[in-house]
Structures are given as C-alpha cells and as structure tokens.
Amino acid sequence: MTTLFVSDLHLDPARPAITTLFLDFLRDEAMRADALYVLGDLFEAWVGDDDPSEAGAEVAHGLRAVADAGVPVYFMRGNRDFLVGQAYARRAGMRILPDPAVVSLYGEPVLLMHGDLLCTDDTAYQAFRAQTRDPAWQQRFLDQPLQARLAFATQARQASMARQKEMLAGDRGAFETVTDVNPAAVEATLARFGVATLIHGHTHRPAIHTLQAGGGECRRVVLGDWYEQGSVLRVDAAGMTLDRL
C-alpha cells in the first residue's frame, strides 16, 4: 500500500482538464491508498466555504468518495486556499492539518508544510501572509458579501501576476531566490522539529534534495504543481518516488 501526496493543483474553472485529471486520480489510485495528503493550493482561489465554484463541488464529492472508501484524507491550507474551513472539510470528508505538522509515515516522523513559510526572503509576501492568517482579518473578510469577496480574489490574483511579471523583467536570479525556500530556514526548521524528512509544495520546483541539518543527513521533498500535468509523491515502506501524471 502507498501513501499519496499532492499539492498546488490550483483548480480553476478556466482549466477544466486539470480538474478532470484530479478527479480521475481520486477515482482510481487514491481509492487504493493508505492515505491521501493534499498540502495546500488545492484551488486557485477560495473566498469561503460558500464559494460557488463548480470545481469545489466536484472535488468535495470526489474526496468524500475516497474517504467513504476508508482512505484517510488530510488537507493543509495553502496561500491560495487558506480560507477553506471546517464546513467544506466535512463535505469533502477530509481532516485539516496545521502548518507545519509532523506525521508518522511507515514508522518515520515526517514534517509536512505547504512551503510558503520557508520562503523568508519574500518579505512582502510574509507580511501579507501574517495579515491574512489573523483570525480577526479573516472574520472581517468572511463577513463581506460573496460578490465582494470574489472581486477581492480576482484583484489579488491580478496583483500577484503583475508583481511576478515585474520581478521577472528585472533580475531573474533575484526572482528565483525570492520565490524559492531560504536554505537557512529549511535547516532551522528541520532541526527544530528533529526530523530527517520534510515534504512541502508551494515553490513548483519538484525534486528530492539531500542536505545536512541538525547534525545529520536530511531529505527535502518538493511536490510539483498541476498546471500542465499532474504530480504525485508516492511513499511506501520501501521508499518514495516523485512522479508526473
């Protein structure tokens, strides 16, 4: 049996083929798994559990079927869907994990994160993250009418795209540094939790890295995004593979 990890699907009505690919994945491989972990950014945007997205309804149904088949489904909020709440989690049959979280994986403690907390060089984003994770800010946002929240999400996505375009037009090396994890933050996090394996998404740079942290050799596994293809980490008692779908 295998435990499956995915992240950064960014499901959106504008990209229906990727939603179909994920639903097929849920109906097939996920049904036979030991567990399924979704480490954030399942959706391109989420403005509250009353979000009318058709993709949201289809995915809730698909995840619920996996959970009803006896496969535990775990979800960690990302930077695009940090407003996914317990109401949607109940619909989807999934348990929301804190970020970060340590889980036992075939006898080994493993640290799970979405990954954005490790991108400490992006100080503007970290300030935005701190603001939007504040419970008071979230409640004020959720108290707004649905159309106002949808408009805010559209504006935020446009601002994010404009910022990335501006950064790319400047120093490409600086862009790569700012949008990737900070090595010192990774090492400090591994040492703080006392684990040898970290699995995260967010950066869209799928790879399995080895590094030294906490006085020993560690692994940092980066999940891939689902923009042009699927990406899944398969873990069993014998090891792990990071594959494209």
What is the Cα–Cα distance from 79 to 65, expressed in whole angstroms?
26
Percent of the chain topping pLDDT 90? 83
What is the Cα–Cα distance from 244 to 78, expressed in whole angstroms?
21
Total domains in the fold of the chain: 1
153-204 confidence digits (pLDDT tens): 888 888 877 877 777 666 666 667 788 999 999 999 999 999 999 999 999 9
- Decide: 230 and 245 in contact? Cβ < 8 Å: yes
Residue 142's domain comprises 3-244
- Amino acid code (one letter) for 222: V
Phi (first) and psi of residue 111, to 5 degrees = -95, 130
Q: Round the average pLDDT of the chain to a whole number and report it.
A: 94
What is the Cα–Cα distance from 65 to 61, expressed in whole angstroms?
6
Mean pLDDT of 209-231: 94
- At 9, which CATH number? 3.60.21.10
55-80 confidence digits (pLDDT tens): 999 999 999 999 999 999 999 999 99
What is the Cα–Cα distance from 40 to 76, expressed in whole angstroms?
5
User: CB neighbours of 162 closer than 8 A, spacing ≥ 6?
Assistant: none
Longest distance between any two alpha carbons in the chain, whole Å: 52
What is the Cα–Cα distance from 198 to 175, expressed in whole angstroms?
24
Q: What pTM was computed for the model?
A: 0.94
- Amino acid code (one letter) for 45: A
